[in-house]
Amino acid sequence: MFTTNQRCGSCMQIVDLRFDHVAEVRRRDPRPLNEQVPSHIRGLHIQVQEDADAVEGVGRGVCPKCGQPMMASFATTRRVLKSIIEHLADEAPLFGGDGLITVTDIYPAVRKPSETTDWPDPVVQNYRDAFEIRHAKVSDSAKVSAFVTCLEVALKALGTTGKNVRSRIDDALEKKLITEALHQWAHHLRDLRNDAIHDGTAEEGSADELFEFLELFLHMTFRLPREIAAKQD
């Protein structure tokens, strides 16, 4: 068998994708006239293939978590591609594993985290953690806690003061860094985190909506002001 560790574009989980079908991607570019077969061997079909040739392949399989089809295109050598195809049905993984190929694309495509170029580094780091946790198989309580941690880091980066998240959220409103609606949402998120800490529970299914709020919060506090300033110049 041949498996590669990839993120499924359907369920967003990182899974071991086992290929059940692999093929070489063949490109048939027309050859320039002066490279065509010389007259004395015209009529012979010559095809020189070396084991070390760089080739592109495509592998197909099913996500072990959600059962949806997945496809990966990858770069490798002809030797490796041949050996992957020969060992597809084996139960033992092919020696060398994942490192034998370089995956260039996954279908369906994986959704990327939002544009983060305007966000401060600690915020980007925490946002990426929150993004990973959002798609992990953990409870909504754990997800909500990670989102609040990211919110807190963002509030610090915005220059708010206060001894806890609650006072920082209020400080952000006082300093007109956030709108009243964002202020209420932030408190809502913090309340859910506190419930989760005290009861070990969070409203199941709420994590997706809360993550969208977190993204909106980061967009409105770090990106939007710069966009507006750029327009005013």
- Residues at the contact surface with Zn ion, assessed by CB under 5 A: 8, 10-11, 63, 65-66
Least separation in angstroms between residue 64's CB and Zn ion is 8
Return the structure tokens found at 41. 């061997």
Contact 202, 140 (CB under 8 A): yes
Rounded Cα–Cα distance for residues 166 and 226 (Å): 26
Least separation in angstroms between residue 4's CB and Zn ion is 14
The secondary element (H helix, E strand) that includes residue 5 is strand 3-7
Give the distance, in angstroms, between the CA of residue 232 and the centroid of all CA atoms in the same chain: 34
65 versus 82: smaller Cβ distance to Zn ion: 65
68 versus 167: smaller Cβ distance to Zn ion: 68
Helix, coil or strand: residue 3: strand
Rounded Cα–Cα distance for residues 24 and 81 (Å): 8
112 versus 198: smaller Cβ distance to Zn ion: 112
Least separation in angstroms between residue 5's CB and Zn ion is 13
Rounded Cα–Cα distance for residues 119 and 153 (Å): 11
Least separation in angstroms between residue 19's CB and Zn ion is 15
Contact 182, 225 (CB under 8 A): no
13 versus 149: smaller Cβ distance to Zn ion: 13
Least separation in angstroms between residue 188's CB and Zn ion is 30
Rounded Cα–Cα distance for residues 19 and 57 (Å): 11
63 versus 150: smaller Cβ distance to Zn ion: 63
Q: What's the Cα-to-Cα distance from 28 to each of 25, 31, 46, rounded to whole Å?
A: 10, 9, 15
If we measure between CA atoms, which residue out of 113, 115, 110 comes closest to residue 129?
Answer: 113
Least separation in angstroms between residue 108's CB and Zn ion is 9
11 versus 177: smaller Cβ distance to Zn ion: 11
Q: What is the CA radius of gyration of the chain?
A: 26
